[in-house]
Amino acid sequence: MSVPRLSGKVQTVLGLVDPDLLGRTMTHEHLTMTFDCCYFPPPAGDEAIAENPFQMRHMHWLRQNPYGCRENLLLQQENAAVQDELLAYREAGGGAVVENTTAGIDRDLPTLKRLAENTGVHIVAGAGYYVDCTHSEATRGASVEKLTDIIVGEVLRGADGTDIRCGVIGEIGTGWPVTESEAKVLRATAQAQAQLGCPVIIHPGRDPAAPAEVVRILQEAGGDIGKTVMSHLDRTIFDEGELLEFATLGSYLEYDLFGTEMLNYPYDLTLDMPSDSQRVKTLAFLAKEGYGDKILVAHDIHTKNRLTKYGGHGYSHILRSIVPKMLMRGFSQQQVDQILIDNPKRWLTFK
């Protein structure tokens, strides 16, 4: 099998493309995956709703308790709906999606290839491993060198027994504190990135110190932080001073939970999930502080209720609703294009 010449290109599930062809890009989505690893029991007394949630009168409950219903976690059952949503995304001006499903949450490359063929949306798939509780015994027992070889192979030759190649490493899952197995995967990620010159994307643990700790581990292992995205900052760093301190480390800064507005975030009841309006305010703050060239945005759709089929916001929410809000709040069209087109393109292009 010939090894692709990746430099200067973006690698999608349909092959290499010129970076200028991507257009508006959501850098953190899932099109098919299972999130059953992160099931969180519903509030006491709500078990009956959780058993039978997909009724109009339960939609608000589902938005507030997305992880309390097992069926809601099976996005892989919705390929037809996702295909319709991708067509709508294209219609709304979308060009590309980075699909962040890695080993442990049911990556399905043949489905991603079919979705790309049927919709014309460029889809970039992710190599590597999700959080510790999804690591197999084989992953836990493997050396950094072995994991590096596997990740490099997923980019150069194809993953999961297919010849479909990944175009980014990640989302690489980490918790707080970072476990031994997660740290090993991070070191393998950094070494694979050093070999390939490829983009990397990280899922940090839920502690304000977690993103910087991941950067430290990657850096020590030879990773390129300027070509790395720190995801989920909307639920991780809340203090502006801490955010600016993290920004100086040089990674891309991703706000990828647009559309998620919930009162009680079950994985950490001490934190307040921001609203979309608050997310836009934070983006404006980062842009004012000189980080406009580091901002990335997405929805991170990973449960069924967020699809328009179930009354959710879908993959076009940012293009249809958040962009007008940004323009109303003082962003120029050029700044919006920087976030949606230029930054993703630069990140996704192999060195």
Ligand X SMILES: CC(=O)NCCS(=O)(=O)O
Residues contributing to the annotated binding site: 28, 30, 171, 203, 232, 300
**Residue 63 in contact with ligand X, rule: CB under 6 A:** no
**Residue 267 in contact with ligand X, rule: CB under 6 A:** yes
Annotated binding site for a divalent metal cation: 28, 30, 171, 203, 232, 300
Q: Torsion angle, CA of 171/175/178/181, rounded to 10 degrees?
A: -60
Which residue of 122, 235, 279, 304 would you call a contact of ligand X, by CB under 6 A?
A: 235
Which among 99, 73, 77 is positioned nearest to 86, based on CA atoms? 99
Which residue of 63, 203, 227, 294 would you call a contact of ligand X, by CB under 6 A?
A: 203
Q: The tokens 């203090």 sit on which residue?
A: 239
Shortest gap between Cβ of 269 and ligand X (angstroms)?
A: 13
Q: Which residue, 19 or 42, is less far from ligand X as judged by CB?
A: 42
d(CA 233, CA 244): 12
Q: Which residue, 53 or 170, is less far from ligand X as judged by CB?
A: 170
d(CA 113, CA 15): 10
**Residue 184 in contact with ligand X, rule: CB under 6 A:** no
**Residue 40 in contact with ligand X, rule: CB under 6 A:** no
Residues in contact with ligand X, total (CB under 6 A)?
A: 7
Q: Which residue, 119 or 231, is less far from ligand X as judged by CB?
A: 231
DSSP 232: -
Shortest gap between Cβ of 236 and ligand X (angstroms)?
A: 8
Contact 62, 133 (CB under 8 A): no
* Continuous H helices in the chain: 47-51, 59-64, 79-91, 109-119, 137-141, 144-156, 180-196, 210-220, 240-247, 276-288, 317, 323-328, 333-337, 343-348
**Residue 107 in contact with ligand X, rule: CB under 6 A:** no
Q: The tokens 């976690």 sit on which residue?
A: 73
**Residue 232 in contact with ligand X, rule: CB under 6 A:** yes
**Residue 135 in contact with ligand X, rule: CB under 6 A:** no
DSSP 159: S
**Residue 302 in contact with ligand X, rule: CB under 6 A:** yes
Interacting residue ranges for ligand X, rule: CB under 6 A? 203, 232, 235, 257, 267, 300, 302
